[in-house]
Structure 1
Amino acid sequence: MRLFYNLFLFSLLVISSLTTVAQESDRSFGRRIGIIGGYNFVGITKADQLNTSNTNGFLVGGFLAPGGRGSIGYRTEVLFSRQGYNYTSGATDGKVQLDYLILPQFMNIRITKFLNLQVGTQVNFLLSSKANDSTKTTGVDGVVNKVNEYYNKYGISMAGGVEVYPFKGLIIGGRFTANITPINASSFTGTIPDFIPSSEKLKNNLVQLYAGYRF
């Protein structure tokens, strides 16, 4: 909860900076800024060796929509997103937590004043990672911190979604994102840990549900 609170404050600072930029520009293009927060439903593909299962996380951040012409507009976002996966490898169960700074770039397609479609790409920067495991036979738990070396520091995803605006500045949205690049690194030193497959390239698929407010 404290982490979420700190991230929310960070989002407000980002929005404050975006507001300054927006105020210095021409106001004739329907420019909007806002904040969003929501839930990640995370699935992993290409993970047969690990026998992964879905896990959940959250997202929080802000956006700047500089406007556009006609029914087409654009939007830039800055998001913190918690992702990861559960896994089973031999006699070991565990969970991997991956925290990302995500920079989406969307094209907005206005259907009505209450509904927008979104399509675009995003760049993902790995901030931190953590893995924990437990041995089925003994029940002993362990935590492995600082496992960034096993994961790519950045990646690219495709994303698409829909937003509705039911009342004033309220936003309710959902989107699907799919990694183009794998999340696990192709090379690293030392023994391969249980939470990393020996030959497969893991990829994230996310369903994100969120709410927010635009100003």
Structure 2
Amino acid sequence: MKKILILAIGLFVTGVANAQSTDNAIRIGAKAGVNISNIIKDNGNNNFKTDYLVGYHAGITLDIKLLENLAFTPEALYSTKGYKSTSTFGEYTQTTHFIDIPILASIRLGGGLNVVAGPQVSFLLSTNNKFETGFGTAEQKIVEDSSDRFKKSLFGGVIGFRYDFSNKVGINGRYALDFQKNNENGTSQTPEFKNQVFQVGLGLKF
């Protein structure tokens, strides 16, 4: 993971240096939107069904123009993910809170349409578990749980699009998938899975 962070920093510095040397604009922005998340279960954990969970994301962006139709666009986002699972006993909801760092390339296809893709590093902040039955609700917040060995950082990938209505306002949609499982060894309380998220949002550039 340290190698990934070093590579991301190296790409960022290279992009800034190239942009400055060619007098291209570096645009700072902000974005926010909706997350629709679920999980991809390990083969040994297919005995329960999961449903999508609605969450949100918000954060800051950089747009560093490298070539006429190519830009380097790293982001730092606060993002909620997770899933729901319903059984005869009640409804279980797990919400995870992450800082996502997507390191993206943006290719302009024409007009305001851009394709974006690249790696992403996610840092786990906390996990909220909620179980609702006909008799009441039980909630649990986990910030640090070494017994279940939650991974505190995950490597994944992002692919999607952005449509710029102007040089200041645009919409975006993307799919993000973790390439690593959430923990090293699953347990009955924290089965092994990978996060997947569909995102739709609005972006502003300053």
TM range (shorter): 0.7 to 0.9
Q: For structure 1, which segment, 67-76 or 205-214, has the greater mean C-alpha deviation from structure 2 after superposition? A: 67-76
Deviation at 1:135, TM superposition (A): 4.1
Choose which of 136, 141, 150 in structure 1 pairs with 2:137: 141
Q: Partner amino acid for 1:45?
A: I
Distance change in 2, residues 1:57/1:144 (3 Å): same
1:6 maps to none
For the 8 Å contact 2:157–2:177, the answer to whether it is kept is yes
For the 8 Å contact 1:84–1:97, the answer to whether it is kept is yes
2:24 maps to 29
SS of the aligned residue for 1:181 comes to coil
Deviation at 1:182, TM superposition (A): 1.2
Point out where structure 2 has 5 or more consecutive residues left out of the alignment.
Answer: 1-15
Q: Partner amino acid for 1:87?
A: S
Deviation at 1:204, TM superposition (A): 1.5
Deviation at 1:127, TM superposition (A): 0.7
Q: Does 1:55 align with 2:16?
A: no
CA–CA separation in structure 2 for the residues paired with 1:122 and 1:35: 18
Choose which of 177, 189, 203 in structure 2 pairs with 1:212: 203
Q: What stretches of structure 1 move > 3 A for 4+ residues in a row?
A: none
SS of the aligned residue for 2:83 comes to strand
Deviation at 1:93, TM superposition (A): 2.5
CA–CA separation in structure 2 for the residues paired with 1:89 and 1:50: 8
Q: Partner amino acid for 2:84?
A: N
1:38 maps to 33
Q: State TM-score, norm by structure 2.
A: 0.80
For the 8 Å contact 1:131–1:147, the answer to whether it is kept is no
Q: State TM-score, norm by structure 1.
A: 0.77
1:173 maps to 172
Choose which of 80, 83, 92 in structure 2 pairs with 1:82: 80
Q: Per-residue CA shift, 1:52-77, capped at 9, x if unaligned?
A: 11111000001112210232221110
Deviation at 1:203, TM superposition (A): 1.2
Distance change in 2, residues 1:34/1:147 (3 Å): closer
What's the Cα RMSD here?
Answer: 2.3
1:124 maps to 122
CA–CA separation in structure 1 for the residues paired with 2:158 and 2:174: 7
Distance change in 2, residues 1:148/1:93 (3 Å): farther
Q: Per-residue CA shift, 1:2-51, capped at 9, x if unaligned?
A: xxxxxxxxxxxxxxxxxxx99xx557123221100000011211152332
For the 8 Å contact 2:38–2:81, the answer to whether it is kept is no
SS of the aligned residue for 1:49 comes to coil
Deviation at 1:147, TM superposition (A): 5.7
CA–CA separation in structure 2 for the residues paired with 1:93 and 1:63: 36
For the 8 Å contact 1:100–1:125, the answer to whether it is kept is yes
Identity across the alignment (%): 25
Choose which of 159, 170, 188 in structure 2 pairs with 1:192: 188
SS of the aligned residue for 1:53 comes to coil
Distance change in 2, residues 1:112/1:30 (3 Å): farther
Q: Partner amino acid for 1:169?
A: K
Distance change in 2, residues 1:69/1:27 (3 Å): closer
CA–CA separation in structure 2 for the residues paired with 1:192 and 1:88: 16
CA–CA separation in structure 2 for the residues paired with 1:70 and 1:82: 34
CA–CA separation in structure 1 for the residues paired with 2:28 and 2:111: 16
Q: Partner amino acid for 1:38?
A: G
Point out where structure 1 has 5 or more consecutive residues left out of the alignment.
Answer: 1-20
Q: For structure 1, which segment, 55-64 or 41-50, has the greater mean C-alpha deviation from structure 2 after superposition? A: 41-50
Greater fraction of residues in strand:
2
